A and B are shown apart, each in its own frame.
Chain A
Amino acid sequence: MNTTLLVFRRELAAYFSTPIAAVFLVVFLAGVAGMTFFVANFFDRGQADLSAFFLWHPWLFLVLMPAIGMRLWAEERRSGTIELIMTLPVSPWSLVVGKWLAAWVFAGLALVLTMPLWVTVNYLGSPDNGVILMSYVGSWLLAGAYLAIATCMSALTKNQILAFIGAVVVNFLFVMAGFDLVLAAVRPWAPNVIIEAIASLSFIGHFQRIAEGVLEIPALIFFISLIFFALWLNVRILEVRKAA
């Protein structure tokens, strides 16, 4: 079997070999339900759509995705197993991609478990299911981007808490890139091109365009290339740490 798939299978099994998976799924579903029903007032809106549900994903994922990704490398560094896996005759790419893929599929499973909501809106009214499907795709890609950054941070340290905090901070910057909080810091001195470039990195902007239901090719490309870049950086971090 392909070594990437072997790593993927091992890592996915590792999530389920401890109560962590169950705890995470419960927290995720409770968080999603809480946001949708109590913060976004799903029922009071009187609309048969799921925008109240997807609206909060960038914020919920901001904390939850680093929690899934933090262990991927930090745990191996702590226990020393990194030495085992890095001296197997395989490319670091298969390790990096396999690990990320396991976390991403796990996040996808968490999303699948929210589908009763989808069934509910179809029962209550007639939503645009195409929009909802695209929103799910966008949400999963967003999760993938958060996770790719979290995996990267995890490769920097043997401390899972540090990996978690680092991932939340970097992800937060990407979320806020389109907001004044970040833009105000560069506006006084940077030319317009740079300000626009930074604003265009915003996770929320891209996610919302996908969640509106338009098949936003640039937004899809944005997430896919960001994931690819973060995974490449992850491989580089592993190589650089060998020389450190």
Chain B
Amino acid sequence: MALVETRALVKRFGAFTAVDGISFAVNRGEVVGFLGPNGAGKSTTMKLIAGFLEPTSGSAAIGGHDSQTDAIAARRQLGYLPEGAPLYPDMTVSDFLEFVAAMRGMTGAKARDRLAELVERIELAEVWDRRIEALSKGFKRRVGIAQALVHDPDVLILDEPTDGLDPNQKHEVRELIHSIAANKAIIISTHILEEVEAVCTRAIIIARGKMLSDSTPEELMSRTAATDAQGKPRSGSVRLEEVFRDITHPKKLETAGA
């Protein structure tokens, strides 16, 4: 059974259709990258799967539990990093992560051991007792990721997990995702195409609320030439970028929609 499944997901805000009939399934071991221009509906789709928004029609399920009608069971299996990694600025890192763990029903030694493990893995020791508002962007993002991993969930939805990080931090986050990917279903959204090449097993391209492509990064790359005009080999992300531009170009979308 797929750990994440969406069926003909539609979300309208007034006259504007943000998500327009998106269906896909994600299995254990898959890392799906959501790609698309700004405003394409990536974040809205993630909010719908997480159950924060209610779909206009269609449905989303996590571990077989509907995000709306069986929300609590669905959320138990979900770790979610919302857009912009929002956190409570007035709390210390330790208070915040202990709060999230307790809200997820983890107490005593179990919570302590898990948090200790996360602190080491995500390297939060030096900011453990600092207030979140005093942290750098990189640390805030890492606290946001730690918060999503507290209960070691089967499903991870990370909205732009590396946004605002420096290259080293980006690399670390990708390593982290890589290291936990084998027994989870992970969805990340990103603008950065090299990220797709680095961590994703599958890339879904969304524009104007519609799914335009669903394939492996390799398949995507194979749609364009492996060498440039001078015959030099081109890197994967350059090739992905070209395919991405080709698929999501506004002119192309208009003709596709017409």
**A interface list, Cβ under 8 A from B:** 1, 3, 6-7, 10, 13-14, 17-18, 79-81, 83-84, 86-91, 242-244
Q: Can you pick out 18 interface pairs between chain A and chain B where the beta carbons lie within 8 Å of each other? A: A1-B107, A13-B90, A13-B95, A17-B90, A17-B91, A80-B82, A80-B83, A81-B88, A84-B80, A84-B82, A84-B147, A87-B51, A87-B75, A87-B78, A88-B103, A88-B104, A242-B54, A243-B54
When the two chains form their complex, are residues A81 and B72 in contact, meaning their CB atoms are under 8 A apart?
no
Closest CB-CB distance, B151 to chain A, in whole Å? Answer: 9
- From B72, B90, B91, contact of A89 by CB (8 A): B72
Task: Give complex CA distance A87, B60 in Å.
Answer: 14
Q: A6-B102, A84-B82, A84-B86 are in contact. Are A89 and B52 (CB under 8 A)?
A: no
B84 at the interface (CB under 8 A from A): yes
When the two chains form their complex, are residues B86 and A10 in contact, meaning their CB atoms are under 8 A apart?
no
Please give, as numbers and ranges, the residues of chain A lying within 8 Å of B53 by CB-CB distance: 242-243
Please give, as numbers and ranges, the residues of chain B lying within 8 Å of A14 by CB-CB distance: 88, 90-91
Q: Which residue of the partner chain B has the closest CB to A85?
A: B103
When the two chains form their complex, are residues B80 and A89 in contact, meaning their CB atoms are under 8 A apart?
no
**B interface list, Cβ under 8 A from A:** 13, 47, 50-54, 56, 71-73, 75-76, 78, 80, 82-84, 86-91, 95, 99-100, 102-105, 107, 147
Closest CB-CB distance, A82 to chain B, in whole Å? Answer: 8
From B75, B86, B95, B104, name the one whose CB has the most chain A CB atoms within 10 angstroms: B86
Task: Give complex CA distance A7, B80 in Å.
Answer: 19
Closest CB-CB distance, A109 to chain B, in whole Å? Answer: 18
Q: Which residue of the partner chain B has the closest CB to A95?
A: B103
When the two chains form their complex, are residues A83 and B47 in contact, meaning their CB atoms are under 8 A apart?
yes
Please give, as numbers and ranges, the residues of chain A lying within 8 Å of B104 by CB-CB distance: 88-89
Q: Which residue of the partner chain A has the closest CB to B89?
A: A79
Q: Which residue of the partner chain A has the closest CB to B147?
A: A84
Closest CB-CB distance, A98 to chain B, in whole Å? Answer: 10
Q: Which residue of the partner chain A has the closest CB to B90?
A: A17
Q: Apart from A87-B80, A90-B72, what 10 extra A-B contacts exist at CB < 8 Å? A: A14-B90, A17-B91, A79-B88, A79-B89, A80-B84, A83-B80, A83-B83, A84-B80, A84-B82, A89-B73
Q: A1-B102, A6-B99, A83-B82 are in contact. Are A18 and B90 (CB under 8 A)?
A: yes
Task: Give complex CA distance A86, B82 in Å.
Answer: 11
Please give, as numbers and ranges, the residues of chain B lying within 8 Å of A3 by CB-CB distance: 102-103
Please give, as numbers and ranges, the residues of chain A lying within 8 Å of B86 by CB-CB distance: 79-81, 83-84
Please give, as numbers and ranges, the residues of chain A lying within 8 Å of B99 by CB-CB distance: 6, 10
